[in-house]
Structure 1
Amino acid sequence: MQESAVRFQPEAPSGDYRLVVTSIGTASPATARSIAVGLNVSVQTVLDAFYRAPSVLVDQIPREIAEQMQTLLESLGYETAIESIADKLPVPSEYLDIAAYLTDVDQFDRVAAELAGFIGASEADASRLLSTPPGVVLGSVSDATLQALRQRLGEGIELIASNPKQATYDLFLAAESADQARRTCAELRRRGYALQAEQGCVLMNLGKQQADELWSVFHRSNSLRVINRDFLRYDLVLVDSGSGATEPARRLLTELAGIPPGLIDKVFAATPITLIEALPAAQLEAAMEACCAAGLNVRADLISFMHLGLRITRTSQPARLHSTLSSLGLLDPGQNSLPELPFSLPCSFPELQARIIRSALKAAGTEVELVEVAA
């Protein structure tokens, strides 16, 4: 949108009304620059008003001008309200961070395009946000923005919102070498922290202040990742038959995991087996307690940073499979034929990327298994 498309009156007479943005609605933040020019304010001021709605965009203006502005903004997709300056100011909401998790990989391209439009980024950048665990796509926004984003993205995606001030944080070692890992762990101990592990998740249950302090120390070396626990996801795994297929266990497996009653005996015979995939952290404790109460022996496997391999077991269209693997860069350019089936792809992938590749291969008439590997 060109700047000339939006023109307010920068020196409008004072009045008794204000224009309040109640939601970003269906608008694109690409319009923020032209609106900022029209209001003679910074672009960031306008963006803050949109993403942190409800908020006052313009104050102390005549009603006629407020109505003109409202008509223009609503034509762009924003949701607004005109209020008297005698009314109480909108109550600032607690700002939220938002993470996204794709539940239907066939929706990836559509969701990435919608997200790009919502945050004013390229589709490539939106795709990176979605596929980089734990999938944080927006920070310090209001609940109104969360609802607008949920409406915009539609089906095939789950959004988790968290108040960063109230959240707890886990620290994950991200060192590039064993020597860097040792130095990082030694520095954490020097600062008085008792590490729970030498790799993976090294500290848990940190408050915001502690997390921020550690991030300020280690972010330059990039040897630690500070992760909001609300954004972590887990697979709930039935470890063994435990107390067996009792009536409480059968009922819980049907109600909690959606397993048809006729398949429950097969589930017990196939342990260890995943009962629920990608369970949000906020739901994990209640699910595990319910399983334990029903006599089920379960464990929680963190999947947010899981790497998966792909094992190709069968294909009905070998030429198409060869073409698909080549286009994805998963075959040597000089390799004119497929390896003998079954075969595994030569590298592992982050969990979401692995699911996207599996979906593409299935569309090419290929049966693919996901195989857990060390990160």
Structure 2
Amino acid sequence: MPLSADPLSTDVLVIGGGPAGSAVAARLAHAGHDVTLVEKRAEGRHKSCGDLLSPRAVAELSRLDIDPMSFGGHAIQGVRMVYRRQRADAPWPEHHDMPDHAVVIRRDTLDEQLRRRARDAGATVLMGHEATAPISDRGFVRGAMMTLVDGTVRNVTARFIVVADGASSRFGRVLGTSRQRRWPYAIAARTYFSSPRHRDAWVETSLGLSDPHGNPVAGYGWVTPMGDGNVNVGVGVLSSYRDIKGLNTLKLLTAFSEHVAADWGLDPTQSLKPPTRLRLPIGGSVGPKMGPTFLVVGDAAGAANPFSGDGIDAALMGGRLAADVLDEALTTGNSTTLQRYPVVVAEEVEAYRKVGRLSARFLGRPAILKPALRLATRSDATMGAVLRIATNALRDDNTAGGAERAYRLASLAAKFAPSW
């Protein structure tokens, strides 16, 4: 029998120490609630594609009084989009709710800063605690059994649970969450190289990747300057690509690294760490988002942007909304308040996600992808419109432009596709 550690009891148990979980823990602890945050890894971890903080993510961090530039962040001015021989620089779209820059920071550094903020706010942060099984009371989830790195078992009971354990979300699956199979997902692979251009102020995004047979792939490649001597090089592919099951994303990454090697002054045979691969649910494709005593946030809820695959801003936003709902439930003593969570998330982003899922579905078809790429890259203005839609920086009616008009047309089409 494994040894047992002292049991714990808390108001809210947050499972997962990434951006979503840490945001919930920091906010609830700041509001005066007893919060315990558990992370299965004893030390920080790195992720397949989580170094770039979009302007929206930077704005969400500022709500937590966190400035990623203060702990080594590298400012990014915009995106340089590349398609064949065409190149266009698209600065981050102006938006009243967001700064005019993005920030690159190593994911393990960001996670540690967020956990520190939760800890400083009064949350108990336990590393090396893996939630392996739920604790139930009269049919309600009231905590989790933890397995520590040394094999010790500890029970943590709570009034409410937040599931934030990432894209694979083993604990979420135990509670009954699953991905909507008809909706698209993304596969990403990335690695690092030394590069003399590590201080560039532009992320380079290559559209129109090709498979080994020369056919266009529904996805993109990126080179992200880290500002620390290195660049993050990666590829992302949508599952709507017709030959997704036969596509080797690690080989696609190798081919892309060789393609950008000369421009970025890197040696494609000398990656700084083995490439990593991640399968990522997107567009809110995992549900249910709640149960009578639990909420699901971040990648565990498939919250990543369906246009770009960016999951950090969605994780931070979901953490903020979940914390608001839980604060009300704890303050009023009314657990039915949790039913508001999927509603407020839908009000915030569901229309945008539906358009993204619809777009992803059709962009997997070569007959649509090829002309769409030519149209999107024909000028700096259209590149900027693409970036505005992809980053959800759409303007209100008084300042609307081409991006908003295109989005409205796509949104109208999405209304006739209720299952997407």
**TM-score in same-fold range (> 0.5):** no
TM-score normalized by the length of structure 1: 0.23
